[in-house]
Amino acid sequence: MCEQEMLYNEGLDVRCLTDIVAHTVAEERKIHLAQAWIKQEISASILTLGPG
């Protein structure tokens, strides 16, 4: 919705920019959480399997 408004306004609305930044930060947090979870799962798998 924000992007469509920007097309109509032919420029960045401050509220739009804030929404975009907030959305980007939220997405990055999700990625970091997912990466941390994957690392934890890999570590747990290695411990479960053990050496050899």
Task: List pLDDT tens digits, range 22-36.
Answer: 999 999 999 999 999
pTM here is 0.56
Count of domains observed in the chain:
1
- For residue 29, the enclosing domain spans 2-49
pLDDT of residue 29: 96
Question: What pLDDT, in 10s, does the model give residues 34-47?
Answer: 999 999 999 988 88
- DSSP labels for 5-45? HHHHHTS--HHHHHHHHHHHHHHHHHHHHHHHHHHHHHHHH
Q: Is the Cβ–Cβ distance between 6 and 13 less than 8 Å?
A: yes
pLDDT of residue 11: 64
Mean per-residue pLDDT of the chain: 81
